[in-house]
């Protein structure tokens, strides 16, 4: 039993590290976030924060404020599943930082059952909403 738990933790850490590396794809300057959606030990989607397809690859305006149409990593990963033949039902999402409330709503509606994140965020309303929806939350600190 203990060994099984350790194995899952090792896998979780590995996926989180992959999400962290994936975040490097983000061209956003203020904050880079990566997300992976895993189902039955298979990565079915990925995402990082950025502007919608076809838009300029710049996240911040001239005042260094993040543009309102920048999609978060979780939203990009979830919408990518929607455009594929996969289903995120009962999947796990690995995200490098705690989901915000907007992403929490998407996570709930997409049928994802578990969220593993590695960085806490000052506003915790997203986590609270996920908790309320009965989604399993696991925080794993990753220090690179």
Cα gap 104→81, rounded to integer Å: 16
The pair of structure tokens assigned to 38 is 């895993």
Cα gap 4→39, rounded to integer Å: 18
Over the window 68 to 87, marking each residue x when it contacts Zn ion by CB under 5 A and - when it does not, the resulting string is ----x---------------
Q: Does 129 bind Zn ion (CB under 5 A)?
A: no
Minimum gap (Å) between residue 72 Cβ and Zn ion = 3
What residues form DSSP beta bridges with 34?
48
Minimum gap (Å) between residue 130 Cβ and Zn ion = 12
* Furthest C-alpha separation in the chain: 54
Residue nearer to Zn ion on the CB measure, 77 or 103: 103
Quick check: is 74 catalytic? yes
The site for Zn ion (CB under 5 A) is made up of 72, 100, 103
Active site residues: 74
């Amino acid at each position: 039993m203990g060994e099984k738990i350790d194995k899952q933790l090792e896998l979780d850490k590995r996926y989180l590290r992959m999400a962290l590396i994936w975040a490097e794809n983000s061209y956003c300057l203020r904050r880079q976030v990566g997300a992976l959606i895993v189902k039955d030990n298979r990565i079915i989607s990925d995402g990082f924060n950025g502007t919608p397809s076809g838009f300029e690859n710049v996240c911040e305006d001239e005042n260094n404020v993040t543009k309102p149409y920048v999609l978060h990593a979780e939203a990009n990963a979830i919408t990518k599943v929607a455009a594929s033949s996969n289903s995120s039902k009962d999947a796990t999402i690995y995200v490098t930082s705690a989901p915000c409330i907007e992403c929490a709503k998407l996570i709930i509606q997409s049928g994802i059952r578990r969220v593993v994140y590695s960085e806490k965020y000052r506003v915790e309303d997203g986590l609270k909403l996920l908790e309320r929806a009965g989604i399993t939350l696991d925080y794993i600190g990753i220090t690179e």
